[in-house]
Amino acid sequence: MALLELESITKTFVEDGATTPVLHEISFTIEPGEFVAIMGPSGSGKSTLMNIIGLLDVASSGSYLFDGKNVENLSDNEQANVRKTKIGFVFQSFNLLPRQITLDNITLPMVYNNTTKLQRAKRGHDLLEEVGLVDRGFYRPGQLSGGEKQRVAIARALANKPSLILADEPTGNLDTANGKKIMELILKLNKAGNTIIMVTHDHNLASQAHRVIELLDGRVVSDSATKTSTNQSKLSDKKPAKKPAKKPKKTKAKKKAKK
């Protein structure tokens, strides 16, 4: 079963009697474990689409199934619960609480998920290890580099073990070296089975995803597999060469016993 199914999604903003159509007939599905990049110029509707996928906004029309459930049929509390437990958000600007230490920033989503202090501490330390920040657990955001802040943000997105990670320009505020490290971490998380949707303007980053969905003027103009995905598929489909059958060993005929 697909994790996400969008069918003919539209979005129109209405303000002071003026209507502004932003998304037009958006349709695609995303399977569990996929890594999908969404690209497009400014004003193409990327952010609006991400907000709808993340249940931060609602479509004007169309159908959106998340994990087999039609989000239109969910109450506000049920949608909030899906956001809390099944979707992890990674923002370009990190959005860390400046007065909280790294460990508390990471485990913040767990506070709203009725977990115990002991559970939060264990999960927090596991995530610090996963993102390579074991020695930064008691640092505050102001003491961290940009790359470290984004690793904290990624760890926070993983706190409740979500079905989907939404990453909005995760390397946008980073230099080349830190951006590369963040991308390596994202790829590692995807290989571990996490489903990831990433908005990016960087074609090089997008090429490392399984698929690239391109938007233009609120429409999907391209939805294609990348070379990375094609190569991985070829490797997985390639059957190991059969080893040649071993020839039976020749046995020496026993000499007839002398009479």
Which residues are bridge partners to 11 per DSSP? 23
pLDDT at 139 over 70: yes
The reported pLDDT for the residue numbered 236 is: 52
Which whole-number Å values give the CA distances from 208 to 14, 116, 182, 226, 231, in the listed order? 37, 38, 13, 7, 11
Mean pLDDT value across residues 45-74: 94
pLDDT at 259 over 90: no
pLDDT at 237 over 70: no
Strand, helix or coil for residue 1: coil
- Asked whether the beta carbons of 81 and 71 are under 8 A apart, the reply is no
Q: What whole-number distance in Å separates Cα of residue 45 and Cα of residue 24? A: 9
Residues 6+ apart with CB under 8 A from 235: none
Q: What whole-number distance in Å separates Cα of residue 192 and Cα of residue 207? A: 19
Q: What is the radius of gyration, based on Cα positions, of the chain?
A: 25
Mean pLDDT value across residues 148-155: 95
pLDDT at 39 over 70: yes
Q: What whole-number distance in Å separates Cα of residue 35 and Cα of residue 107? A: 25
Strand, helix or coil for residue 215: strand
What the block records as the tokens of 234 is: 């070829």
By percentage, how much of the chain surpasses pLDDT 90?
Answer: 80
Q: What are phi and psi of 170, to 5 degrees?
A: -65, -20
Q: Is the pTM of this model over 0.75?
A: yes
Nearest to 208 by CA among 219, 220, 196, 193: 196
Q: Domains of the chain by range and CATH? A: 31-59+69-230 (3.40.50.300)
What confidence tens digit (pLDDT) does each residue in 182-227 have?
Answer: 999 999 999 999 999 999 988 999 999 999 999 999 999 999 998 7
Which residues are bridge partners to 165 per DSSP? 88, 196
Q: What residue ranges in the chain does DSSP mark as E strands?
A: 4-15, 18-30, 35-39, 61-66, 69-70, 87-90, 164-168, 195-199, 211-216, 219-225
Q: What are phi and psi of 226, to 5 degrees?
A: -90, 170
pLDDT at 140 over 50: yes
Q: What whole-number distance in Å separates Cα of residue 174 and Cα of residue 157? A: 18
